[in-house]
């Protein structure tokens, strides 16, 4: 694994256009800056296509979906596809409501994504929908989902990144497991959204989708580990969150090389 | 007062559906996680009812109201009522504009709330409106408002929690004063909204509305006191806010028992 | 320069009505509180005019523009003008899309602004549009823009504040350069938006527009300098941001007098 690819973000300073949720939009902008990229958050339907065309990567996150925003997302994604700008999707809560399921379906029909990043429940929903099995896949057991995930990645010609206690990445042929992280990351809102924004930063720096996903999962996991290790007696979630930003702003290829825990597998398909 | 009830939040890990303002939505999600509950922020009219039915409590906060969001709030509230899911209202700035007054009226007509939490100006507005006295109640003098607040609580069959230098809680029969807190809490945006989110966490854990209000007021007040006490020379509002999250993430029944200052009164009505 | 004017904010505790973007709205509310003013964020078209009339200053920021929000901004601005309430504009990303260009044009036609605050690219766009030269002004070279900026300030009868490595302020006659700040401020999202909110706080405290701009640029710059100086080994962007809020909450006329670096010029026009 060439961890030094990470440093390309700060070198190329890509512009990352993000259509995301109102809960974590500030965190996503700050993590983008921490990585050395430049964020622009614009989700009015009237300007989404124009902004996407002018950017180096587009991030679409359905965390607090509105109809007009969904329209903007489709326009931004199509414009990005047309202009060769990579797009990453975060299908937040995909299985929670009909609105979200239909939104994901609509986006997958209109937009080609370089990476889709979700947790096992969200990715399981995507697999279930498309295989006709509904949304009740056994989500606790990532292993049983792997064949469906590989098939979905091949069908959509995308990289799928599943975060969890151990993260999993596949493009249908290659596979990787990333073992960095800490459960504390799940006690702070937006770490998933920020992870997807980081994937956008990597893509925008010209890193290929498979390595963009691995680098992002490792970087966020390592920053979480270091932030946790820095906590003193009496410090909690608030301080952890700030240290996480500190560590992300200091992340580089060397740190990734030292602390990254990745297992790369070649799959014969 | 059975302070150990607080620990039920982490034990039951309830899902708290919040329709809230864009200013403090991130803070409300983080405070929910800090308490040991799980937040979901969804205010599209198309999914609000579905999400409310699947959650353990619903939080409605009109801080940055939009018409479509108001529609979603009413739908979420009605769905919650139908499915036995408790709902808490934060009537932010209720008296500031006609839009907000009418929104609160509409919500009170369509939704039964377990708890209404506001400052004395907001609660005074609610009392004034309904008693026909207009919005010019003497808000500086909580004592003069108490009869109206008790009547409103009885009329709406709800618990009303008024935060201020000393907090007041009533269901029209029982009453309590909570004396925890620090003026620094008013120097950070969102502490009121977060307080209401915490009430939602307690309700979602199955705690009765009266005790949910008391526990929340005490927990937020104590976290503020401890955060303030931890400040060193040169630290200000930024650090205070982070320590507040730290303290909330470490809150438990034992700390509440030691530091909670509550006066419970039985009212003969 | 009378730096003690700053202390009027805490003395008068003005209400600052802000119609701003979803990315930094929480930061803008917190910086307003840190300065000693009181924020209210309300951008529904139905209540914008009413809220503006009741406030001491209005802040308009087009960072994540929606059509209904633009409508609210125009209504709030007109209402403020009618009631003698000063208004400040932050034309975020003015040149990035047609939507934003047209929005700024529309706002400038309907609303008289006391101060317009942007970076050199945004202000250059405003100059270019109005001079018919398009948006391709040489933005790296502030000096070459100065004549256009002065003309625009005179034409609009406003104060224009351009932030950058060295900040520039003019009302077309008087001019000032402010040399406080650190590049770290550009590594945190929202420092520009917060700066504009601080201008609103000064205006709301009754300080004249030219001095409001200078005081705000110096205060934010000094807070950044002090926050940077406080960082220890291993601390990064996250901690810097918190210390910045700490410093803003401790800012006063005395600190400004000691650390403010301003060059005032009288221009014969």
For residue A200, name the pLDDT band (cuts at 50, 70, 90).
very high
User: Which residue does chain C place closest to A19, by CA atoms?
Assistant: C64
**Burial group, residue B248, by CB count within 10 angstroms (0-12, 13-18, 19+):** buried
Torsion of CA B101, C89, B20, B74, to 10 degrees: 50
Mutate to test the interface with C, among B21, B23, B239, B241 (most CBs of C within 10 A): B23
Token digits of residue B34 = 């800090």
Which chain C residues touch A35 with a CB distance below 8 Å?
A: none
Assess C151–B contact: CB distance below 8 Å, yes or no: no
Mean pLDDT on C202-228: 98
Q: How far is A171 from chain C (nearest CA, A)?
A: 33
pLDDT digits (tens, 9 = 90+) for C234-268: 999 999 999 999 999 999 999 999 999 999 997 64
CB atoms within 10 A of CB A20: 30
Assess B66–C contact: CB distance below 8 Å, yes or no: yes
Q: Which residue has the higher pLDDT, A135 or B43?
A: B43
The whole-number pLDDT of residue C129 equals: 61
* Sign of the torsion formed by the C-alpha atoms of B26, B29, B33 and B34: positive
**Burial group, residue B229, by CB count within 10 angstroms (0-12, 13-18, 19+):** exposed
The whole-number pLDDT of residue A205 equals: 98
C residues 237..256 contacting A (CB < 8 A)? 237-239, 241-242
Mean pLDDT on C9-34: 98
pLDDT in tens, chain B (269 residues): 899 999 999 999 999 999 999 999 999 999 999 999 999 999 999 999 999 999 999 999 999 999 999 999 999 999 999 999 999 999 999 989 999 999 999 999 999 999 999 999 999 999 986 554 444 444 557 888 999 999 999 999 999 999 999 999 999 999 999 999 999 999 999 999 999 999 999 999 999 999 999 999 999 999 999 999 999 999 999 999 999 999 999 999 999 999 999 999 976 44
CATH number of residue B169's parent domain: 3.40.1190.20
For residue C143, name the pLDDT band (cuts at 50, 70, 90).
confident
* Chain C neighbors (3+ CB pairs < 8 Å): A, B
Mutate to test the interface with B, among C15, C21, C24, C25 (most CBs of B within 10 A): C25
Assess B158–C contact: CB distance below 8 Å, yes or no: no
Considering its fold, how many domains does chain C have in total? 1
Q: Three-class SS of residue A231?
A: coil
The whole-number pLDDT of residue B136 equals: 41
> Measured between CB atoms, which of B27, B100, B190 is closest to C47?
B100
- Going by C-alpha positions, the residue among C168, C169, C126, C163 that lies closest to residue C148 is C126
The whole-number pLDDT of residue A128 equals: 85
The whole-number pLDDT of residue B130 equals: 55
Which domain range does residue C187 map to? 3-266
User: Which residue does chain B place closest to A24, by CA atoms?
Assistant: B26
Assess A140–C contact: CB distance below 8 Å, yes or no: no
Assess A22–C contact: CB distance below 8 Å, yes or no: yes
Inter-chain residue contact B41 with A24, CB threshold 8 Å: no
For residue A88, name the pLDDT band (cuts at 50, 70, 90).
very high
Mutate to test the interface with B, among C16, C18, C29, C30 (most CBs of B within 10 A): C30
The answer for residues whose C-beta is within 8 angstroms of residue C64's C-beta and 6 or more apart is A41, A42, A43, A44, C21, C22, C23
Q: Three-class SS of residue A113?
A: coil
> Measured between CB atoms, which of C26, C246, C249 is closest to B189?
C26
How remote is the C-alpha of B209 from its chain's centroid? 11
Mutate to test the interface with C, among B236, B243, B244 (most CBs of C within 10 A): B236
* Cα Dmax for chain B: 52
pLDDT above 70 as % of chain A = 94
Token digits of residue B96 = 């500031």
Q: How far is C98 from chain A (nearest CA, A)?
A: 7
Q: How far is B48 from chain A (nearest CA, A)?
A: 9
Which chain A residues touch B30 with a CB distance below 8 Å?
A: 188-189, 237, 241
pLDDT at C138 over 60: no
d(CA B5, CA B198): 13
Assess B22–A contact: CB distance below 8 Å, yes or no: yes
Assess A230–B contact: CB distance below 8 Å, yes or no: no
For residue C144, name the pLDDT band (cuts at 50, 70, 90).
confident
Inter-chain residue contact A25 with C23, CB threshold 8 Å: yes
Point out which residues pair with C178 in neighbouring strands.
C167, C262
Q: Could you identify the residue written with the tokens 């008087």?
A: C174
Mean pLDDT on C171-190: 97
* CB of C176 closer than 8 Å to CB of C221: no
The whole-number pLDDT of residue A169 equals: 98
> Measured between CB atoms, which of B26, B50, B249 is closest to A189?
B26
The whole-number pLDDT of residue A140 equals: 58
Average pLDDT over chain C, rounded to whole? Answer: 94
* CB of C163 closer than 8 Å to CB of C171: no
Inter-chain residue contact A65 with B44, CB threshold 8 Å: yes
Point out which residues pair with A177 in neighbouring strands.
A168, A263
The whole-number pLDDT of residue B134 equals: 41
> Measured between CB atoms, which of A23, A26, A100 is closest to B41?
A23
**Is pTM beyond 0.90 here?**
yes
The whole-number pLDDT of residue C137 equals: 42
The whole-number pLDDT of residue B140 equals: 58
Assess B7–A contact: CB distance below 8 Å, yes or no: no
């Amino acid at each position: 694994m060439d961890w030094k690819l990470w440093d390309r973000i700060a070198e190329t300073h890509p512009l990352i256009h993000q259509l995301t949720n109102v809960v974590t939009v500030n965190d996503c902008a700050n993590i983008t800056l921490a990585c050395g990229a430049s964020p622009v958050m614009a989700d009015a339907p009237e300007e989404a296509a124009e902004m996407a065309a002018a950017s180096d990567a587009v991030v679409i996150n359905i965390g607090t979906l509105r109809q007009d925003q969904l329209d903007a997302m489709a326009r931004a994604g199509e414009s990005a596809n047309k202009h060769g700008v990579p797009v990453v999707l975060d299908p937040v809560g995909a299985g929670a409501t009909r609105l979200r399921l239909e939104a994901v379906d609509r986006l997958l029909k209109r937009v080609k994504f370089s990476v889709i990043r979700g947790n096992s429940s969200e990715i399981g929903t995507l697999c279930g929908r498309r295989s006709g099995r509904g949304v009740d896949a056994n989500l606790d057991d990532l292993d049983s989902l792997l064949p469906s995930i590989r098939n979905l990645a091949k069908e959509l010609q995308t990289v799928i990144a599943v975060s969890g206690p151990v993260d999993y990445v596949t493009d249908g042929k290659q596979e990787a497991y990333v073992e960095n992280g800490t459960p504390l990351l799940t006690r702070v809102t937006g770490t998933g959204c920020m992870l997807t924004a980081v994937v956008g930063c990597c893509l925008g720096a010209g890193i290929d989708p498979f390595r963009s996903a691995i680098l992002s999962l490792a970087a966020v996991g390592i920053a979480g580990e270091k932030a946790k290790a820095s906590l003193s007696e009496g410090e909690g979630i608030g301080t952890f969150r700030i240290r996480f930003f500190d560590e992300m702003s200091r992340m580089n290829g060397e740190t990734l090389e030292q602390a990254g825990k990745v297992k790369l597998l070649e799959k014969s398909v």
